[in-house]
Amino acid sequence: MSYSFLTRLARLLTRVILGSKFHLRGTSNVPVSGPVLIVSNHVGAVDPAIIGGWTPRPVWFMAKAELFKGGWAWLMRGYHAFPVVRHSADRTALRRAFALLKQGSAVVLFPEGHRSDTARLLRAEPGAGFVARRSGAPLVPIAITGTQNVIGRHTLVPRRAEVVMTFGAPFALPERNGDGSPMDHQQSSDYLMTKIAQLLPLEYQGEYASPPMSKRAQG
């Protein structure tokens, strides 16, 4: 199945299942062309489907390698996903991501590395900061709430729930922390997450709740 067919199907299913409970905001923040690295929180199994369906340009996904070992690998690849081995320096995945960005594509990355069981932000993996800084691409944050209530970890039948997906304004990583020290990979990842946190209600900001994180990000 083609990517365009699958994204149209994702939009149709969103309308059928969620209807007026789906709220999409800030799509004009996504650059219409050129490289862009989109960073998103991850709370529900349907997050990639919704992101791919409603981002106003084609996107590619860095997805955990485990998803490509079963019978659904064809669907993952059809939806522009490519595998990455989590918690490792997966050179093949990194080369693919950098090549796509160099070609002017949009790549989606989940800095937390996996879904949050509580729907609150988890501490990001340092690899996300490495990709963001090494690529030099403009960054766009996405904040998603409610998708954990559409399909849970132990359910297959989708339910209607209130879902909000918000695209934030494009941003760039600063070169240094507030104290003048160089920003390392973990600090870069944390900075990405603060941009996502700013788009979320306080109860979902988790590890990046505004008061403590603002101090940490400043060094």
CATH label of the domain that carries residue 144: 3.40.1130.10
Which residues are CB-neighbours of 4 under 8 A, at least 6 positions away? none
What global pTM score does this model have?
0.89
| Predicted pLDDT at 211 | 58
Q: State the pLDDT confidence band at 77, using cuts at 50, 70 and 90.
A: confident
Question: Helices 210-217 and 185-197 sit at what angle, rounded to 10 degrees?
Answer: 150
Instruction: Report, as an integer, the average pLDDT of 151-167.
Output: 89
Beta carbons of 142 and 170 less than 8 angstroms apart: no
Domain that holds residue 95: 3-217
- In sequence order, what DSSP letters do the residues of 177-194 get, joined into one string? -TTSPBP-HHHHHHHHHH
Q: Is the model's pLDDT at 216 over the cut of 60?
A: no
Q: Report how many domains make up the chain.
A: 1
- pLDDT at position 213, please? 41
